[in-house]
Amino acid sequence: MHSGILVLSGPSGAGKSTIINAAADAIGEFYFSVSTTTREPREGEVNGVDYFFVSKEEFEEGIARGDFLEYATVHGNYYGTSLLPVKKALSEGKLVIFDIDVQGHKLVREAMGDIVVSAFITPPSLKVLKERLTSRGSDRMDIIQKRLENAKEEIKEISSYDFVIINDNLKEAKEAFIAIANAARYKMGKAESQKFIKEWLES
């Protein structure tokens, strides 16, 4: 199975997790990029699933080695995206999926180069997004408002993505995601293609 990198972005409430879960059986083995943190696990959180939980010393050693794609300090704890599990998953032939914001998309492109495939997932309109966030009933109005303001900014970056999935119908969005995920496995970067050409000519 070919490995690949797929970056997903989109506003909170766009249905990214729902689409990934619905398509999981159809896209082969994949590694969902998990953040690393120095904070203590909360009740029910699992190491390697919710976060990779490490000590402050381990995190800082990783920074010094250049292991992190990006990192930040929040309330005295480090949070970041380590490239070590990403590289391990790629070497095992897995599709690596990032669920990351528009800034993160730029960082992944810079770090991983031309093998990256990206998709922006969005509801059909701001009105529909507001309805979805409100109907969940799990967030205060000020949080919903902040998410809507963020979405207005994020949508402006849509043209920097390879694909757009308009999540108006889950079945159609799932099919689009499966097609893009499988295509991501077959994208050949410049370095990989040059290696292939050399081997092809010599064999």
- Per the CB < 8 A criterion, the answer to whether 7 and 105 are in contact is yes
- The structural domain count of the chain equals 2
What's the pTM value of the predicted model, to 2 decimals? 0.86
183, with CB counted inside 10 A (0-12, 13-18, 19+), is middle
Contact call for residues 77 and 39 (beta carbons, < 8 A): yes
CA–CA gap between residue 200 and residue 194 (Å, rounded): 10
- pLDDT averaged per 10 residues, the chain (length 203): 91 91 94 92 88 94 92 89 92 93 89 92 95 84 91 95 96 97 92 93 93
- In a shared domain, residues 57 and 101: no
CATH number of the domain where residue 122 is located: 3.40.50.300
Residue 120 belongs to domain spanning: 1-29+95-203
Q: Say yes or no: 25 and 66 in one domain.
A: no
CA angle at residue 140 from 104 to 37, to 5 degrees? 35
State the pLDDT at residue 199: 95
pLDDT for the residue numbered 140: 87
Instruction: Find tokens 């492109």 and name the residue.
Output: 109
Question: What is the domain-level CATH number for residue 68?
Answer: 3.30.63.10
Strand partners for 120: 9, 164
